[in-house]
Structure formats: structure tokens, C-alpha cells
Structure 1
């Protein structure tokens, strides 16, 4: 029983599958050679992240394939409905990386609120000659406590963002056409907790009052969630973080809003043209940048690997 983890798999998942009798292959097979490799090796489960594309050609020409697994949440690189129509199981790990993505949101928020994205660029170059100038330039930072965060998309990740925000003493508002109310349980280290119910609102209302906007929605087929019109609705000096999918935010409109001062800063983990983002975005002094690493923590990768292993064993009835 062979499993091809084409975009890698943590050792915990490899060990869990190996113990059940699976052979786990972590060789990175180029996209153009994937069909031949799967057929030659009689691969039963193909595990991918965001790099490998699993389209109709693979589904149609790989009869040994029984499972396609996505380590993570979004499955826009897989023809999910078509695969399922052919009797192939398609699985993912929606709960495994929520905490990691949510924490990265706040890494970007803290970075922008205290100018870390620009400071970290300039201190190595000018820190020894223009220390006082840089200190003055970055003296207008802001605190997150007491501010309003607007969460667009109240799924698992959005709710985890809400938990952290409430713990920081922020006001939380949210927009989601599929969720009317979310009940957020905020746990503390000494086993105490509070429950907070958040009623979702129209997107326009959230944009008008939030100090910070964070997006947690799927890839978009018809336009942007945040474009030029939405930026105009926002408060002057608001900020935007996108750790969901590239194309959710209109990057050209974002740069315009940053240049005009309408938006104070942005944090981006995902981009329109991955893996070759716009140079204008990459070099902008008001954008905090990460290379699509929302789920890239040791803890999340372990949870993802173990979740995939459990699902494969369950589907193939291996105990």
C-alpha cells in the first residue's frame, strides 16, 4: 500500500502510516511526470499541499488512485467534485492549522502597528548612522488593545482569530453570509473561560467601523472581496491582513490605498501571482510579508500529518 506525499509530510504522519503497513514516498515528482509515477508505483493515496495540482488528467489516467489528500484547508488546486464523481475520496485537514494561521494574523498586526516590517529593513542599513531619525520615524505606533477588529469569514480560522482578539482586549465584529452567530469560548491558563457570542453583520458595516480587517474566506471566482470600493468604505488609517487566499484582495487597489494614506498598513501571507508576487507589493514599505506560511508551524504540521494518516487508515479500513 503506497502513499505519495508529493509536497512532503511530517515524520509523525510517516511513522503513523508506516506502523499500519503503508509505504510512504516523499520523493518530489514534477507535475509533468506525476501520472507515470503514480501508475508505475501503483499509488493508492496522493497527498499534496498547495504546490501540486490534481486535475482531471491525473484523475482520469491513474486508476490505482483511491484517495487525494490536501494537507491544509483550501482545495482549489484539486478538482474535488470531479474526483469524487469518479469514486475517489478527497480529504483535507480543516481544523489542524487554525491556531497557526490565526497567530500569524496577529504577527502581521503587531508588525504593522509598530512598523516592524519597515524597521527590520532599514535598521541593518541605517541603524548605526541614523538611529535617532529612525526612532522618530517609528515613534507613532499603536496598541491593539481597545481597537476593533473586523473578521471577514467566521469559519474555524476566523473564530480562532476572534478568540485571540478577545484575549487581547479587542472589540470583535464579523461578516459572514453563511454564519449568523458564532459562540467563541476563550480559555485561560488556569482552566477558566468566558463565552462570547458574536452576531455577524453586513460586510459594508464591518468595513466602516473596524480598525483592522482580516480575511478568512475561500478563493474567489467572481471578483475581489476587498477592492477599490471596499477600501473607500474603510476608516482612514485602517489596516488589512490577508492570510486566506491570493485574489481575495485587489493588490493594485491596496497599493493605491496605502500610498494615499487611506490604509495605514497591510499584512499579506498570500498573493495574486504566487509564487511570483508583484514587485510593487514585495517592496512596499507599509506591507508586512510572509511567503504563504500560515500553517507552517511545527505543531500544525504534526496535526496535519496525523489527521491525514488517520483519515487514510479509516477510508482503507486499516486498523
Structure 2
């Protein structure tokens, strides 16, 4: 699988080479080239994918949002799904939670799941391990966590 990514901070060349990834300075470039766009970002107060971005999706490309519902405009995604861009959508978050957009709920190109990853036994065990040992089993973005000093 070829990995394309956009981020505010570019990874180092060694990291990119190690996983065979291609960096895009602009999100719109990824949308036009990727077979599947997965949104994994916090919500910073604005919609990331509205109609002007959905129409830039590669013909046949898919969109998956498991981050925050408000990152993708539900009404715009219904309209653009009808036009084939994106070709399908997977989601477990919704813009107006706990309510689900009625047209997305019945759309044949949409796959919905409930957002329950935090409720699994494995997640709870991982949380307990962190609380008791002070270290996560699989730490993502470890470079962002600053060590605490004790007096």
C-alpha cells in the first residue's frame, strides 16, 4: 500500500522512507490522489471537509472519518456522494451527535458503525496499564509527551 499524508508537521526523511510514504504540503493534493482518505485529526473549531473539498476527491476514492463528526460536513457529503465523489463513506462519528443525519443513515454508499473503541476490554486494560506503570503499551506520538520532573 502506498501511503500519502498531509500534516501540519512533516515527518523526517528517514521516517518517510522507512514506511514508504509521500508527503503532501496541501490537503487538496492528497484528496485527488488517494484511494481512501482517512481523517485522524482533532477538531480545532472548523469543518475540514466541506463541499469544495469533497468534489476534489479522486473518482472512485473513499472517505473514512472516525475522528470527529464536525470535521466533515454531513449535508455536503450526501450531495457529493450522490455525484460519486467520494465513491463511499465510512463513519462512526456524526456532526450532530447523538443524532445521525437521516440521509446518510440510509445512503447505499455509507457504512456506519458506533463509536465504541474506548469501550473495549483491551482499551480498559491499556488504560489500567498506563495508570499503574505510567507508560502506554503502544505509545503514539511519544515525542509530544514531555517528561515530568519530580522534586
Q: Give the strand-richer structure, 1 or 2.
A: 1
SS of the aligned residue for 1:195 comes to helix
Deviations 1:224-282 (A, max 9, x none): 11111111111112110001111011111111111122221100011111112222222
The CA distance in 2 between the partners of 1:281 and 1:242, in whole Å, is 13
Supply the distance in 2 between the matched residues of 1:269 and 1:295 (Cα, whole angstroms). 12
Unmatched tracts of structure 2, length 5 or more: 135-147
Paired with 2:42 and 2:122, the residues of 1 have a C-alpha distance of 23
User: Which residue does the alignment assign to 1:260?
Assistant: 83
TM-score (norm 1): 0.38
**Contact between 2:37 and 2:64, CA under 8 Å: does it hold in 1?**
yes
The size of the alignment, in residue pairs, is 134
TM-score under structure 2 length normalisation:
0.77
Partner Cα distance (2:12, 2:65) in 1: 22
Q: Distance in 1 between matches of 2:34 and 2:117?
A: 23
Q: Is the 8 A contact 1:220 1:247 kept in 2?
A: no
Q: Note the C-alpha offset of 1:178.
A: 2.1
C-alpha RMSD of matched pairs (Å): 2.4
Which position in structure 2 is the counterpart of 1:203?
27
Which structure exhibits the higher relative contact order, with contacts defined as CA atoms closer than 8 Å and separated by 6 or more residues?
1
Aligned to 1:299: 122
SS at match of 2:70: coil
Quote the residue 2:140 is aligned against.
none
Give the match for residue 145 of structure 2. Answer: none
Provide the residue aligned with 2:110 in structure 1. 287
Q: For the Cα contact (< 8 Å) 2:49–2:71, is it kept in 1?
A: yes
Give 1:179's aligned residue.
Answer: 10
The question of whether the paired residues in 2 share the 8 Å contact of 1:239 and 1:265 is answered with: yes
Q: Deviations over 1:122-158 (max 9, x none)?
A: xxxxxxxxxxxxxxxxxxxxxxxxxxxxxxxxxxxxx
Greater radius of gyration (CA) = 1
Q: Which residue of 2 aligns with 1:225?
A: 48
TM-superposition CA deviations, 1:21-59 (whole Å, max 9, x none): xxxxxxxxxxxxxxxxxxxxxxxxxxxxxxxxxxxxxxx
In 2, Cα distance between equivalents of 1:272 and 1:308: 32
- Structure 1 pair 203–181 and aligned structure 2 pair: CA distance change class (3 A): farther
Q: 1:265 to 1:199 in 2, by over 3 A?
A: closer
Which runs of no fewer than 5 residues in structure 1 stay unpaired? Answer: 1-169, 185-193
